[in-house]
Amino acid sequence: MTATLTPYSGVEPDAAWRDEVRRLVEQRDAVLLAHNYQLPEIQDIADFTGDSLALSRIAAESSASTIVFCGVHFMAETAKILSPGKTVLIPDERAGCSLADSITAADLREWKAQHPNAVVVSYVNTTAEVKAETDICCTSSNAVDVVASIPADKEVLFCPDQFLGAHVKRVTGRDNIHIWAGECHVHAAINGPELAERASQDPSADLFVHPECGCATSALYLAGEGIVPSEKVKILSTGDMVKEAKATNARSVLVATEIGMLHQLRKAAPEIDFRAVNDRASCRYMKMITPAALLRSLRENKDEVHVDPETAARARASVQRMIEIGQPGGGE
Ligand code: SF4
């Protein structure tokens, strides 16, 4: 994936586009899913919006024969892993993920060879091949529970996100956890000093922080130092952010994750002033799913996602082990 990728363009998200998209969705017996980081017009036309794992589970439970997944490639792959009998389309297969790309199956096999007795825990932002090499998957909601379920004397290999790994290590107090040094370029750009400055400008605001952010550690530090009250700092998956938006009494909220999230939060609680900690935190891969790309996908049945059945079966086992441990909540 490179910065020179040009998204499909030339289609306005007007009423005619909306009618045509919905007509084609019906005609194809499809369910249209949109991740929380998608463009607002894509979120608004979808049957369901949410985080990656919640959407994959909706897809698996849906009676539709085709899943159109507006998100990045590993998310559509996860839908295919959980729904092997359905046709899964992603409107632009070039929509990758810098975090998922930060570890390959070969990297993981080599790491496992160095720690042959370790249990491998992988975040859902990984390819099907990496999931197939994984013992238990996790989301940002349940990463702590998944690691805590592993006997204390067992080494753990945690990948690929170093910030989520640091959060899990801190909460579990475990010192036999090895953390892969991967990161998402968008989340890593949301940093502690920026968060501290924004928090000091608005001391009454809640802080909603995604644990993949470089600032998750800073947010906990600010709370620990009493710079912001600890009850104001909420480390949440994107799905839990929507729930918390409906529950909080705060009048304003600083949000530390990809800026597409603001759309769902504002819809969930229009009376709250939601502001991004870093308003440049936009994922260019997520934004490749344009109105033109979605129309092309529905008209031409593209791009179809394939996962070979053996890889899918092994990957599915690591996702199912996670589900057996507890409520998966949401991933990104
Ligand atoms: S925001 Fe980061 S982790 Fe999420 S899809 Fe984009 S590159 Fe991947």
Does any domain span residue 297?
yes
Does residue 322 have a pLDDT over 90?
no
Range of the domain at 218: 186-276
Does residue 228 have a pLDDT over 80?
no
Does any domain span residue 216?
yes
Q: Which is higher by pLDDT, 65 or 186?
A: 65
Residues 114 and 76 in one domain: no
**Is the CB of 222 inside a 6 Å radius of any atom of ligand 1?**
no
Residues 177 and 194 in one domain: no
Residues 209-228, mean pLDDT to the nearest whole number:
77
Which CA distances in Å does 190 have to 179, 209, 230, 288?
20, 10, 20, 21
Using the mean position of ligand 1's atoms as its centre, give its distance from the Cα of residue 136 in Å.
Answer: 21
CATH number at residue 173: 3.40.50.10800
Type and span of the H or E element at 120: strand 119-123
Tokens of 226: 């009493």
Does any domain span residue 2?
no
Residues 89 and 105 in one domain: no
Distance between CA atoms of 73 and 325, rounded to whole angstroms?
26
Domain count, the chain: 3
Residues 319 and 250 in one domain: no
Residues 88 and 38 in one domain: yes
Distance between CA atoms of 192 and 216, rounded to whole angstroms?
8
Does any domain span residue 212?
yes
Nearest to 28, CA basis, from 212, 302, 264, 329: 302
- Give tens-digit pLDDT for 157-177: 999 999 889 989 988 999 999
| Closest atom, ligand 1, to C-alpha of 72 | 5
Distance between CA atoms of 23 and 47, rounded to whole angstroms?
13
Tell the residue nearest (CA) to atom 1 of ligand 1: 283
Structure confidence at residue 274 as a pLDDT band (50, 70, 90): very high
- Give tens-digit pLDDT for 54-91: 888 898 899 999 999 999 999 999 999 999 999 999 99
Mean pLDDT of the chain: 91
Query: Which residues have CB under 8 Å from 323's CB, separation 6+?
Result: none
**Binding-site sequence positions:** 35, 52, 97, 123-125, 140, 184, 210-212, 238, 283
Does residue 107 have a pLDDT over 90?
yes
Does any domain span residue 116?
yes
Structure confidence at residue 330 as a pLDDT band (50, 70, 90): low
Mutate to test the pocket of ligand 1, among 55, 90, 99, 139 (most ligand atoms within 8 A of CB): 99
| Closest atom, ligand 1, to C-alpha of 75 | 5
Which CA distances in Å does 89 have to 33, 74, 209, 289?
10, 12, 31, 12
- Helix, strand and coil content of the chain, in percent to the nearest 5, comes to 45, 15, 40
Residues 62 and 80 in one domain: yes
Distance between CA atoms of 155 and 200, rounded to whole angstroms?
40
- Give tens-digit pLDDT for 285-305: 999 999 999 999 999 999 999
- Phi, psi at 222, each rounded to 5°: -60, -40
Give the pLDDT score at 1: 45
Q: Please count the helices (runs of H) and the strands (runs of E) in the chain.
A: 15, 12
- What is the SS3 assignment for 271? coil
Does any domain span residue 33?
yes
Does any domain span residue 8?
no
Does any domain span residue 221?
yes
Q: Which residue has the tokens 């592993």?
A: 150
